[in-house]
Amino acid sequence: MNNKLLFSTKSERNFFVKIIIPSIIVFLFFSQNSYAQYPTTKVKGKFEVYTDSLKQVEYTNVFPIWGQQAYKKGFDIPYPTGIMVNYMYLKQGLLVENLQLGLQTKNVDIPLTPVDFIEFGDNYSSAHSIMVRPDIWVFPFLNVYGILGYGQSTTEVNLTYPIELQSIVEQSVRTAGFGITAAGGIGPVWIALDTNLSWNKPELLEDAVKVSTFGLRVGHNFVYKHKPYRNFGVWVGAMKMKLGSETVGEVKIGDIFPQEVFDRAAEIESNYYDWLNSLNPNNPIDAIKIEKANEILTPIVDRIASADGESIIRYGLDKKAKSEWNGIIGAQFQYNKNWMFRTEAGVIGDRKSLLLSINYRFLL
């Protein structure tokens, strides 16, 4: 089969080859002996009656494949299909490069123009979202899921040169994607690898932003003494998130700048022209700055000074997470084989996150 029919870009093919295939191979190896599954628990011998009942189960469902063998070995596997609803909060630093700006007014139409000399301070992106995640355990060690979500994001960008200026953009975001979780047991602990690919479409951007995520978790499940089907799991791990770098969009001036900018309009205009007049046109570097400033920055500053909130700023830039990796801790309470409740927090590194989740599982 021609893989170009399955993957639209080289990066998506590399994602599949480098992450998904090795994950499956590794956990096929682990699971030959354990049939372990996150959050599957092998019930210890002290629950002899419950263990014997598991070994007697006649499992007739199609999924997970090898489910019967897992039961015969005394593993209490979750129901194969489920729907998870997640609330997610995330805040992370952003690095911005290769900025381009354009402007559209009633009388002016300036295309995207590179302004590489602009310098940035600390920039942040935060989001609140609700995700729905249907999933199915294809094997006792391999879960496949989809992602559908909607949320609100806030992006704060701080310019430090040639003038100090803050931009805050709030917008809705729609998300769709897919992923896999592969899991295996080693002694008393389980290990889970999770990877997904999603497309996030902010309302003000022309194209969706592709985000790839990879997570590694190591944990242990504690089984309730008198109710072996009930357990409490804890884990630690790490997560990597990579953003699609290129961003192109447009937004009204009134929507991109907070009121504080318009309150300081006279000060901003004065500082800008002080900087512009300080440049030496006989210096080749300064001459380029003067040309670019007069082409695009001066018209934008003039719009701010006149409190024109309806003019449209076009922008293009390259962005990436300030830190791709962060540490995570989490816990899950399985009340019974239908209901599971989970929380997870990103606590180490630049990225901070909080996940609250409820999962309903069932037999088809």
What is the structure's pLDDT at 45?
53
Q: Is the pLDDT of residue 5 over 60?
A: no
Q: How many CB atoms lie within 10 A of CB 350?
A: 16
HSE, CB side, 13 Å, CA atoms: give it for residue 27. 26
Question: Region 100-120: what's the mean pLDDT?
Answer: 92
Q: What is the number of residues in the chain?
A: 364
Residues 316-348: tens digit of each pLDDT? 998 889 999 999 999 999 999 999 999 999 988
Please determine, for residue 38, whether its predicted confidence score (pLDDT) is greater than 60: no
Between 55 and 303, the more confident residue is 303
Rounded to an integer, the average pLDDT of 52-70 is: 80
Q: At what angle do helices 265-278 and 298-305 cross, to 10 degrees?
A: 150
Residue 58 pLDDT level (bands cut at 50, 70, 90): confident
Indicate whether 54 pLDDT > 80: no
217-246 per-residue burial string, b: 16 or more CB within 10 A, e: under 16: bebebebeeeebbbbebebebbbbbbbbee
Q: Are 159 and 300 in contact (CB under 8 A)?
A: no
Pick 21 or 145 by higher pLDDT.
145
The pLDDT of residue 31 is 40
Taking only the tens place, the pLDDT of each residue in 306-319 is 988 899 999 999 88
Mean of pLDDT over the chain = 86
Comparing CA positions, the residue from 236, 234, 192, 237 lying closest to residue 332 is 234
Tally of CB atoms within 10 A around 207: 13
Cα separation, 203 vs 250, whole angstroms: 10
Tell me the average pLDDT across 165-177: 93
Structure-token match 């009340």, residue found: 335
Mean pLDDT of 171-200: 94
pLDDT tens column, 261-280: 999 999 999 999 999 999 99
Residue 131 predicted with pLDDT over 70: yes
pTM above 0.85, yes or no: no
Q: What is the pLDDT of residue 228?
A: 84
| pLDDT at residue number 10 | 54
